[in-house]
Structure 1
Amino acid sequence: MLKIVLIDDEQVVLQGMSHLLAEEFPDHEITGSFTDPEPAIRFIEENPGQVDVVVTDIKMPHISGVTLIEKIRDIRPEIVMIAMSAYTDYEYIRQAMKNGAVDYLLKPCRRKEILGIFEKVERQKKERAQETEEKQRERRFLKLLKGNEDWQDKDFCIFPEGKACVCTMWSDRDRGREEWEAVMYRSREELRKRNAVGTVEEHRLWIVTPISGTEGEGFPDICVNDGNLVVHLKKNFKWGQRELQETVHTLLEREFYMDFNGRLYAWDEEIWQKKTSQAEEIKMEEFLPFSKIEMILMRGREDQLQLTLREGRRRLIGRTDGFEPVQLKKGMIHFCYLLEERIKTEEAGKIPESLSEQEKILSDLRNSRTLMQAWANLEAYLQQILSFFQEKAKVPSYIRLASAYIEANYMQELSLQKVAEYVSLNPWYFSSQFKKYMGISMGEYLNQIRIKAAVSLMEERDLKIGEIAELVGFKDSAYFGSVFKKFKKMSPKEYRMKIMNK
């Protein structure tokens, strides 16, 4: 007999499904029928043993059926989930299946399809009833591993509290669940002998083995063919909720360390503790001499930069100890900030807009998951600085002088004639050369500088829009408004409101 809960925001669908199931499966029991998912979730949570199957619509007003399925799987993972949809949106249905639904029905539901699905569920229930104690322990262990179960529940104790154990983890991102399940199957006899428990989670195989005075520490290594890129880690602990969670966290941290370093390094417990307690600050000077890189960049020498980067990468990969990820990335970012300070010195305390992508690159560097990703981001950072100096070297000194003059005097009345006189050039020639090297006319450049200054002043709420216009060099407020809208795609008043509402 199956105990069934039906969830659909249409009462007529619930009535029709209830009538059909009562007619075709008189032994089954409808233990709940809900038009609102929230009461259904509470019922399932508060009534263990009263629900074997949930049939739910996946398109409801308050909560999607996909989210509902995920929530129910977290509360009662043993419940069989069936999704219904009036939409042939197979991506949506795929998400429902991914979140734990075993099958789906398309509305209007056909009698034959409904009967076929419930016959399938009945078969699954019988198979589950015949499941061995070993498989039940594996499922319980997976729940404990993820922290999804109440540790005080006696059904989930597995080992006595405080029992000395060793937790072993194998991790291989190229192996799926089926491959690790096959490893478990081949090793089942050894697991029985040692009273060990194991489970598969994502790309990892976890095994906890109790330790007695006469036994060795943990599961034999011969059960898994490690290969070159398989992380194999283990740690002793005493069985308990906090101890298991701390052990899992520690091994996942070590997996990340080894992932970052290309899975080329492994240590036993003693060497690992020694290494992590002495996590030194990474000095990028070992791989990229700062003064040399600075000189190469400022001279715009791409050939020399590539040679230096190749040599630095060779030294990086050749390091035998591997790198602590946080420390290495911290060292790389510090190296980048030193270069930024050097640019600010060259550019009168400012970082040019042409280097606007720098912060995005640094963000990617911080989030990099591997050594080579971090190095690639560092190279991208240096390459952008190189491009900046290469472009700068092409700009004549009189253009650089003129742009600096404009930036220092934008609040005054500046004309093409006045700036051209400042750099001792004919106005017509200066105008053509300015646009050639800067990409915009001098007037556009001046307005760009003024609007940038106006945006900074927008945060000063005591200043009126007209006052801001005058402070940045506009004598006509209406003209200021039109120029501002051209650059910011909104009026000064709208922009100020946007700032105030943040």
Structure 2
Amino acid sequence: MKILIVDDEVIIRNGLCTVIDWKELGLTLLPPASSAEEALARIPAEKPNILLTDIRMQGMDGIQLAHEVKRLLPDTETVILTGYDDFAYAQQALREGVTDYLLKTSRPEEIIKAAMKAKQRIMDKWENAKQETMQTAALRSQLLDRLLIQGDESSLAPVQAWFRKNGVQPDESSLAPMRVLLLAATGWGDGALAGLLLGAAENMLYELLPAVTMLKADRIVLVVREEARVSDCGGLGRAIDRVRQTLKCTVFAALGRSVASYGELQDSYREAGTVFAYRGLLGAEGLYTSADIADRCGGRTVCSQKEESELAAILMSNNGADLRHWVNRKVREQLEDSAATPSSVQAFLQSMVIAGHRWLERSQGGGKPEAALHTFEVDSRAEDEVFKLLSSVMAAFHEAIADKPFAYIQKSIVYIKEHLDQSLSLQQVAKFVHLNPNHFSEVFKRETGLNYIEFVTLERMRRAAEILQESQAKISEVASRVGYEDIKYFSQQFKKHTGRTPSEFRQSVKD
């Protein structure tokens, strides 16, 4: 905050400058002026917040100066100093916008008190203006939000005035084409820095484009007037490049269709939102429209059986590095798929997590998987999210068996369940848990109540029954999925354990 002292008496002028420590009071002392005319010439450039001036000077007096300052800088506080204790002068000064009146004989503490009062009044004005600006901006954003999201035109008048003021609409007689632009700027980190970057980007775009803007969550919403070489696709691209280069950040922008009325802005906003949802699939930066996603029909939505087996083996191994590598590879495959859509990626990522929970439930002898639905960021952050969820599954399994005696038997059971479609010799499973086959066979029977062959056969029959209940797979396919090449032998084993042939069992389930 700046203060300017004006007095034609050099002793008074210098005394006021040196006796009081203005810096300590939080005021920047401008070079003093020896006349009202000098002060008036300097005021437009130096813009003092407080004016401390003599009332009687050669030429223009302090009251005339106060009048001119009020016209040029309405918020400047003027304090009059005079050697004449003249009430009539004081009244005239107050009418000209002077906020305080002191005698030159006043003690320094009285002058300081008057200056501090003036400073406080200015700070109060600033705070009130700030609150008013924030309230006005909040109201405009609320009305614009209502117009774009709900298509509500009931409070259109303030929005129209705002659009005209910012150059989106030239006048009331006609409407220029408009488009909605959604923009995200990243690269400064998270938290407060991310908010600062968005604010800085919004300010730049406000200066560069005929637009109204508002901040909404992690993005900037702009309604721009469509104008050749200014805010068409080329013009918007140049403005976005300017923001990116100036602020050293990454900018992703989605542009909605051109519309010719306020009522259609909702359509433009929705289209921009649809394109914005592809952020992470289209690329980290650039300006995109609906044409860029027109050919995307959706990628894979479900993990394959092979992928589930890969995941199961990794979860069993308790190897975090292998899990991270596998997750990153699978997520990147989805993000790089030219057919992928946000919904197909979401579904596939959810399928990965469900596959992990399904494995955990099987390994613990449970039924259906208990995997909560998650909404994933459709970008590289999804790798961390999926890895975190699957890591918790892996940790849950290994923590559960860690305190159990003969934990390796539990691991071997899970291994058997995950490899029922393969040849499963006792030696193979014993090797997996790093035990001598004879010792493993002995402990396995003691812990499960069944010998190894009986247990494997029972698990194969259970799995076959599940497949027959849940799918219309052919009997030959069911046999293959539980490790039998001979369909006749499989059918015999199945009837031995269930009392029905596979076909009879399937029919009984339907009935």
Alignment TM-score, normalising by the size of structure 1: 0.40
